[in-house]
Structure 1
Amino acid sequence: MADSSFDDLNSFNCPVCLHLLKDPITTACGHSFCMNCITECWDQDDQKGVYSCPQCRQIFTPRPVLNRSTVLAELVEKMKREEPATENKPPLCSAESEDVECDVCIRTKLKAIKFCQMCVAFYCEYHIQTHYTSPALKRHKLVNASPHLLEQICTQHDKPLELYCCQKLICVQCALIDHQNHSIVSPATSRKQIEGQLRSNQENIQLERNQRENKVQELREAMDSHKESAKAAVEQSEAIFADRIRTMKRKREEITKMIKNQEEAEESVVKKHIDSLEQEISDLIKRHDELEQISEIEDDIHFIQKFSSLSQFQFSNLHNITVNQHLTFDEIQPILSELKSQLDDLCEQDTVRISEKVPTVHIMESQNVLTKYLPSQPKTREEFLIYSSLLTLNASSACYQLSVGDKSVSRKDKSTDYYYSRPIATYKVLCKEKLSGRCYFEVNWKGSGCSIGFSYDNISQGATTSFGSNKRSWRCDFTTVNVCEIQNGKTTNVQFVAKIGVFLDTEAGTLSFYNVSDKMTLLHRIQTTFTEPLYPGFSFEKWGNNSSVTIL
């Protein structure tokens, strides 16, 4: 509590401006103010029509008439004369941004030092004095001022939150009205329970923090690994292309040198023939001149002697020198063009595969981000299996000579079949599923052979139409001797295999058959235009008893 000198000093300070009273007046409740201060306060209350004391909040209606307190004014003047140093004393602290302001201060808001839980108000060092001196206010509960104290007041009843019920803090009035017969405990008791939850939450938060820190570390390491992998891929790409460029330059130089060597060798042989023929021409001209001179001799004996002295002239056989008028290096150009086309196709195919693979390399396996690798031109078995389709045989589409399960079918002729009138057997069966887009499946076959077919139309039991007999179906035959494609009555022979991979791409219009092994080998490809989804199926029309097919 403040000492008596402090009380004496503040008794003559205006509660509004906190300075010594000037033209003091005293209200009916007994508090004194500067004439100007109380006038300004009540001017602001004119619109409400209700006037209150700025210090004790007592209500006055109508607005009281203010008269200057002469006795009080004389006491203030006397204090000024007796204690002139009072004016030089340091002022009370004004509230800073982080401080709680006094609720009573009107002009200059001072820093609050106490909070009254009964008045539900903050008080500065000056305005709290009445709680120390007034017998009625001394019973109020004061606590140190703090910004969070207002949160401890019931917003409905303006009472302190002193009890805990239904997982929330309540005031006494809330307990009497809304929480009768409830299990109400004090905040201290509830705190013990909440502290357990708090520790559990702290442990969970620490665990979550550790997990996130580990995940951050994992992501950073993955990102670094991703960068290193990308760097290595770029370096490998540059090294491979640089090596291929060097190889292509070397091959270009070898081909150029080969052509030049051939050109020079042929020119050397031809030049030898030219030199030999030119020498013969020179000798023939010389002999022709000699004969001309002999022909001019008039003496018969001398004429005969000169002619007889000439040696027999040897000529080369021109028939042995044949010039090929059509052999030129133009025949090399188609081979070079074919080489260029093959290199272009190979580069284009592999570039497409790389461009489809690169977007699928992700650091995080997030479904929102993950791009699935779907190669448009698969080459390895793993890439084909991306388009794997689950097929089930449709027993209702098979003739009675076939033994059909969900995944396997075999030809099982019986000797009694020849003695009963049966529909003509086509020995075929379709799958239940229709295929479109890119689809892949594998089959094993045994026996003398099998046929893999595709049809736009479903085939009912007993139907006589065979795969490949019209423009709405295709069939590829596999035997122990060879493989044949039949479409629209035309046959094409292909090589033999036992395990077959079938890849359908309706958009590209291709139906491809592969030998399934460590390396996928293309056996045959049908190029056409597909306008509808297709039923895959199998036929044993050309194959012997016990031939079978199993869908893998």
Structure 2
Amino acid sequence: MASSLDLLDCSICLQMLDEPVTTACGHSFCKKCINTFWDTGPNLEEKYTCPQCRTTFSPKPALQRNTVLANLLEEHKKKPSQSAAGGANDVALPGDVPCDCCTKRKQKAEMYCLMCLASFCETHLQPHFELPVLKKHKLIQASTRIKESICSRHDRLFEIYCRTDKQLVCPLCVVQHKNHDIVEVTAEVKAKQDAAWESSNNFEQRCTEHLRLHNHFLEKKCLEMRDKVEKVEKAGVDWTNGHKAQLEYEVHKLREMDHNLCQLAQADDPIQFLKDIQAVGGLPVFSGSHEELVPLKEFVSAKTNQLKSMCDIQNVQLFGHFMDNIMLHIPGKLHIKPTSRKDLLTKFICPTLDPNTVHGCLYMANTKRELSWGITGQAHPDHPDRFSHFYQSLCQDDLQENHYWEVEWDGGLIEVAVSYKGIQRKGQGKDCCFGHNKLSWKIICSPSSCTFWHNSLHKGLIPPAQSRRVGVHLEYNEGKLSFYSVSRCGELMLLHRVQTTFSEPLYPGFSVDLGANLTMCEF
């Protein structure tokens, strides 16, 4: 088929004939090609030469349309099956592997022979299926990377892998790897695949075991912290009891003197009064314990700060212990390049609370950037957008691009969320609570742990935040939502990341527990 199709090629442009014309010598060309050849060529003395047989014509001959070839071309164009069997549609294009046997129009190669070390199109591949001597040759799919599988020194296929040198070798190069640990390529591939599967299957088990060890370590540290707190509490109680006993003694002495003075005041004999008043003596010297309330406050404040500092140190130590155990067994390909906070700050926004959504028990500062627990009956007028049961609030910002924001908190527990505007506001069902429906995502942060919630499904065992600052990165178009812990020096630690598809604008949302305060950071 390929040879018959070659008859339809123009010998000037080497492509299929277009408007075929025939010269007097019987050769056919594209009408445009032959005219261009004659008009631009060195036709001396008005003599015109056939490009194929060099027959000379003078004057320039009239070209006649080759009707037979034109009809054949039309029939060929109407038969896509012929093209599929080796026609123009199978011509090797850039990026394809050309047939090594085609001499004129290079067809797309289908297979590569490991014995012949050549690529063959469908037509030239037939002998490998028909001739007994060629049937024994091993064929593989033709590829542009086939040269990577061939030894450049011996033109032989890499069939052996040297584990000692960690390189592929051909059968002739193997003599240079004497006494090395060598195996067949197929055996090495299977060994590495088995190792990869085993590593993948055991990774989750190793993570679970290290989490169990971490929890045990955490419980031990909690007991130690409880002992330290009890010691501080006992010191405070002993200090208070000691001053209380001193004050009770001074009160007793003062009452006793008051009684004696009252009796002396009733004496009629002045001489006896003077003698008795000397026996009573002067007023007792007070210890000034009533003036030590300020030191007491300073003592409590100092111990409180000491406990907070101890908690921060233990938190860092616990997290470091946790990450050291986990990261030791994570395969290298799972290491994620840390996100730069400097890059995220180029997308920074400072959300603004929506006063119409703030729950009645929450206090919102005038700046609309601070949220804290208040008392029932805050000055929040009734509004259809206000949360009636859950202590939550949404922001005014509708987000549909790449944004980043940060919040700081102190006290107990807070929730940082994003939600669609359609989340319900009235009632105490799941459709009103951040993270318990399909419309919202949230992370709960406390001094000791973090938990992610979406559609009533939670992700536990998240390492605790390293600081009291949390960053949220929304990549709306990519469908990514990331929560970070932001350290004092500005380093980011990924707490959790969501990959989904967002269908409408998102709004930042927050919730604070009793005793907690939340502030949106500004830059």
So what's the TM-score if we normalise by structure 1?
Answer: 0.32
- Give 1 or 2 for the bigger CA radius of gyration: 1
